[in-house]
Structure 1
């Protein structure tokens, strides 16, 4: 699993910021109006956590990367909101308070190495939810991984950094390898190159539902691409709504 060590330095500059509004809107449509507490897994730089807090939710957010949490803390302070930040691994969630809602967005589960690790995360989430609580997450579809990502290339050149993103078919079914290269301007005006390999893997939706059922989720609905529509054969992103 990547820790986004160098990616964190340019993450907000290369990430499509409008997606956070989409995740916020999707979340609000699919949780009870009485929901108060939200646990955000893999919160990254905290953009969605801040939006949730600004919308009146009591937010706790977890990420594996200390660098990302530093960015998130600064973002929350600038926005004037209170959020409980936790560093940790979604596969090994600690006993904690119960929550009305748990989210895990931005295909974060796809960074886990196999479906058994997804199961560990699902078990932890189930234990964190209140009775009738809701778990919402998204993942890449098999179409996105198998047909869209291979040979994808994205390059960005700014005054203080350059960012190269090239994707290649992975070594196991429904997997992709993203080769990231950063050229980051240091205080002495010299550029330093850093490289990271990000490996993602997804599964057939039926396999994911089966794993969710095995840990106790019994009411599962599947949508696609930030809409309330069922997935089609060329949907890029699957959204799962799971009720405890």
Structure 2
């Protein structure tokens, strides 16, 4: 097994599975029921959420920057006996994927954009690739989560075949954070290989997202918090935006 494939599997094993149920349930509450609705999942990773959407009756396409992740996604879809096209691509350019009724972008993937210009560019791309009255749902970290919760966060995990160290620090830009991840993953010959990853995330206040969505052309949006249909408060950790074209 290629090292990166092992690495992507480790990602899956440290990801809390219950989050996929929460994302699926939230989506099903807020996407109108419509036969064979076309759904594009941005930043689909190893395909777990795409498969959930397919099983819920959507006609799903998954898009991700990482070809390694998509290869795992394809294997996972075959094992689940579902047909999902997985496209290698950047959410800053959706010209290759066609039009959709719904677009989702979960797991704070928008927070990986470099600055608000890129966030606005993603919103415009999504808008241009939605059908009339189409819906875009995405989630981001709240400013509270980035400013108060993450800095100084440290998490270590020891499993039989891998060890992970995860430390988070405040970054220079407002509402930004750096996650430093180090993995030691056991190969088939018993040796451990080290992987280091730096993840930089940034969020904005709700008003900034509001302005960027309006500039992209969205006619309305609602904001909810933490997978529930409730308004955000000052300690909400994750904001969900439901936007209509």
TM range (shorter): over 0.9
Residue in structure 1 matched with residue 116 of structure 2 by the alignment: 115
Shift in Å, 1:148: 0.3
1:178 counterpart SS class = strand
Residue in structure 2 matched with residue 63 of structure 1 by the alignment: 64
Question: Quick one: distance in 1 between partners of 2:9 and 2:172?
Answer: 29
The question of 1:99 aligning with 2:100 is answered: yes
Question: Quick one: distance in 2 between partners of 1:234 and 1:5?
Answer: 37
The question of 1:149 aligning with 2:150 is answered: yes
Moved more, 29-38 or 200-209: 29-38
Residue in structure 2 matched with residue 15 of structure 1 by the alignment: 15
Question: Quick one: distance in 2 between partners of 1:75 and 1:140?
Answer: 28
Shift in Å, 1:7: 4.9
TM-score (norm 2): 0.96
Residue in structure 2 matched with residue 27 of structure 1 by the alignment: 27
1:179 counterpart SS class = strand
Shift in Å, 1:95: 4.4
Shift in Å, 1:5: 8.7
Residue in structure 1 matched with residue 42 of structure 2 by the alignment: 41
Moved more, 35-44 or 17-26: 35-44
Shift in Å, 1:6: 7.8
Distance 1:13 1:117, change over 3 A: same
Give the number of equivalent residue pairs.
241
For structure 2, list consecutive stretches of 5 or more residues without a partner in the other structure. none
Shift in Å, 1:178: 0.3
The question of 1:76 aligning with 2:77 is answered: yes
Residue in structure 2 matched with residue 212 of structure 1 by the alignment: 213
Q: 1:150-194 CA distances to partner (integer Å, 9 max, x unpaired)?
A: 111111111111111110111111001000001011122111111
TM-score (norm 1): 0.96
Distance 1:143 1:11, change over 3 A: same
- Contact 1:174–1:203 (CA under 8 A) maintained in structure 2: yes
Question: Quick one: distance in 1 between partners of 2:43 and 2:95?
Answer: 15
Question: Quick one: distance in 2 between partners of 1:149 and 1:68?
Answer: 26
Segments of 4+ moved more than 4 angstroms: 4-7
- Contact 1:220–1:242 (CA under 8 A) maintained in structure 2: yes
Distance 1:140 1:6, change over 3 A: farther
